Amino acid sequence: MLERKPRRKISVTKMAYSPFYFIGQAFKNIWRNVGMSIASVLILMACLLVTGAFYSVERNINYNLEGLGGLNKILVYINEECTEDQIRKIKEEAENCKGALEVTLITKEEALKDEKDKMGEEFSDIFEWLEEGENPYRASLEIEYETDSDVAALEKALKNIDGVDKIVSRSDTAEKVEQIKDVVSKVFLGMMVLLFTVSVFVIITSIRLALSARKKEIVVMRYVGATGFFITVPFLLEGALLGLAASLAAFGVQYYIYGAVFSGVSENFLGLLNLLPASALSGTLFKSFLAIGLVTGLLGSTVSLAKYLNK
């Protein structure tokens, strides 16, 4: 009588931790549900593009405000007939005014040079003529204050100083800019929450379809001893790959659009509106896009797997 050989137990653990197996299964899942996968990538792309657009707008607003010297400053123009000693005295009185953080004296020569630098080489002949003749610019004080509540009292105190001709304040503009920035931030947050919610939901649906398509296969794998780790890793990688694809695509589109806008503004606004070069934003945007894409993809996968494996 022939002796029956013992049945060899099938084990999946020998190949369980091969990274190539996990990556291959993740790509297979994406291909099986290519429609939902594309939808996931496109929606997450839209979310990232909105994020990048608002980030770029905010950075450029701050950049242009810095170019203007900031809005939390008051310019005090001094009477042309004041001597250097009188100008120094006016500066000392301004420094003693309540609410004044820092007072900077801008001489007539410095004012002329600053204006020449702003206008560029095109108008250099005019400024050379002014430098040789009588300087039309006046000495002034640039006074920085801390809060808008200090402006009214500070302006009143400055007007009472002998030798002060004119006071220019940007407090109204600063307040309007802050209001606009608040509105932009609120719209940005609302759009972010909406788009991230939709992105996570679509990725959850995509992973669930992949789980459903492999339901029988997963049951067999469990029967022969596959661990939860072995089963879930391909689906986690699927979500991560979808997030990574959306991140890279969004960054490429964002970089191209920003470059086109930068070129258009540089050519048509003649230096009145300045934009940061794309290289100044690309590093932060790339890292942020990668982080957001991967977290969103993994979150969608985790939610789907948690509900499925708990059944």
Burial 164-182 (b: 16+ CB within 10 A, else e): beebebbbeebeeeeeeee
What one-letter code names the amino acid at 114?
D
Length of the chain: 311
Question: How do residues 236-271 score in pLDDT, each as one tens digit?
Answer: 888 889 889 999 999 999 999 988 888 877 666 555
Name every residue whose Cβ is closer than 8 Å to that of residue 249 and which is 6 or more positions away in sequence.
41, 45
pLDDT band of 229, cuts 50, 70, 90: confident
In angstroms, the CA 216 to CA 286 distance is 40
Q: Report pLDDT for 222.
A: 73
Q: Give the single-character DSSP code of 60.
A: H
Neighbours of 227 (CB within 10 A): 13
What one-letter code names the amino acid at 79?
N
Query: Where is 143: in which H helix or E strand?
Result: strand 140-145
Q: What is the mean pLDDT of the chain?
A: 76
Question: How do residues 30-78 score in pLDDT, each as one tens digit?
Answer: 787 788 788 888 888 888 888 888 888 878 877 776 555 556 788 888 8
User: CA 102 → CA 96, 138, 178, distances in Å?
Assistant: 10, 20, 22
Q: Report pLDDT for 244.
A: 92
In angstroms, the CA 154 to CA 161 distance is 11
Prediction pTM value? 0.59
Domain ranges of the chain: 19-67+175-309, 73-169
Angle (CA) 307 288 273, round 5°: 140
In angstroms, the CA 75 to CA 62 distance is 20
Question: How do residues 159-182 score in pLDDT, each as one tens digit?
Answer: 888 888 888 876 666 677 777 777
Question: How do residues 79-95 score in pLDDT, each as one tens digit?
Answer: 888 888 888 898 889 88
Tokens standing for residue 76: 């005090």
May I ask the CATH architecture of the domain 73-169? 2-Layer Sandwich (3.30)
What is the CA 309 to chain-centroid distance, rounded?
38
CA-based R_g, the chain, Å: 32
Question: Which position has the higher pLDDT, 192 or 233?
Answer: 233
